[in-house]
Every structure is written in structure tokens, then in C-alpha cells.
Chain A
Amino acid sequence: DVKVTQSSRYLVKRTGEKVFLECVQDMDHENMFWYRQDPGLGLRLIYFSYDVKMKEKGDIPEGYSVSREKKERFSLILESASTNQTSMYLCASNRSGTREQFFGPGTRLTVL
């Protein structure tokens, strides 16, 4: 079974803190994605990566950065957390050329 894990299920941070969200997949997938999910807005793509050290901006990259130093790991970084970044963050991965995405359990981040 494909497994996508995320470092935390719940996280509470303060405004201005630097926040790291980690995602690891164990199926050697080339593509990895970070989304945030908010009520009424659905999933919105923040960043994605199709290879190690490669990254592409999604629809809402402002205030975020990413890092992919190893194939299995994709990190989302909030350089200076703000209250409007309070959300559910979902990581996903898939094999290049395939279409199904596999999602991690999500991290609910609250910024106070």
C-alpha cells in the first residue's frame, strides 16, 4: 500500500514563527504536492515538485516555500507564519505519468 505520512496531525504556532511541515512517501513517487484546504474553497495547490530539487509554484504560493532534497521527502515552509495561514495542509504524491494522487492524513495548523 502506498503510504504518505505527515509529521504532525495538529500544530499550533505563533504569528511570525517559522514553520516546517514534513511529508514523506514510501512508494518512490516522482511527483509530490502541497495543498491547503479551507471551508468553501476546497483544496488549493500551494507548490508541487516533479523531481528532487525541482519545484513549481501552484495557485497560492505566496508566504510559502518548499524543499525537496530527497525523493521521498517534500517539506513546506512558512517563513513567517500569519493568522491567515491557519488551515488544513494536505500532502499528496503520485508516480509520473499516472493520474491518481495519494494523500497524507493532513496537518491542521493553527497560527495564533
Chain B
Amino acid sequence: QKEVEQNSGPLSVPEGAIASLNCTYSDRVSQSFFWYRQYSGKSPELIMSIYSNGDKEDGRFTAQLNKASQYVSLLIRDSQPSDSATYLCAVLRGYGQNFVFGPGTRLSVLP
């Protein structure tokens, strides 16, 4: 089992819809979870972090964490074509200082 898994996509949604991106992880000790956005040909940029069970909202983005199910998700409301990118889920390893990334989900928002 891979440490961090994501659907590779592509996930296509119409403009204005809600995009839902999912991530599961295998290390039960992990406490810190991140969503990075990566535009084609660019480096990843952090858009959300979440450390506690429940929801965390920031503008159009909501991160959801369920540690019992080892599941993290990212919701993007009112999706825009500019949201079209690859979204990477990252997990800070249990007691370490290094991170493990999922393979990414490619999102396409259609005008």
C-alpha cells in the first residue's frame, strides 16, 4: 500500500461547480496534512494545511480531515478555469521532519 494515495484524474468539473479532491494515507501517526497546487510547468505552492479532525475553510477552499478513516479531502467551491491544475496531497511523516506526497489529481475546470 502506498503511503499517500489520490485519484490521478483527470477530474473535470464545469465552471461554478464544486470540485472534490480526495486523499488517503496509511501512517496512523501522521498529524499534519497539506494540499499543494501545481500549475503545469511550475513548482508546487501550498494552499491549505489541516491538523485537526473536521473542516477548515479558507475562501473558496475547504479542507476536511478524518483521522479515524485516514482521509483528507479538498473542496473547491465556485470552481474557476484558473483552478485547473494538479493538486498534491502531502503528509508530514509521524515523528519526522520530512513529507510524503501523493501522485496528485489533475483538475480541469471547463468554462
Contact = CB atoms under 8 A, between A and B. Distances in A.
Interface stretch (A12-20, A76-84, A100-108): A100-108
B49 interface: yes
How many B residues are at the interface, by size bracket?
Answer: 20 to 34
A65 B27 CA distance: 27
B43 A90 contact: yes
Given A99-B32, A99-B34, A43 B44 contact: yes
B100 interface: yes
Contacts of A40: 8, 103
B47 to A, nearest CB: 11
B97 interface: yes
B49 A45 contact: no
A42 B102 contact: yes
Contacts of B44: 43, 90, 103
Contacts of A44: 101
Contacts of A48: 97-98
A42 B97 contact: no
A48 B99 CA distance: 10
A50 interface: yes
B80 to A, nearest CB: 23
Contacts of B103: 40-42
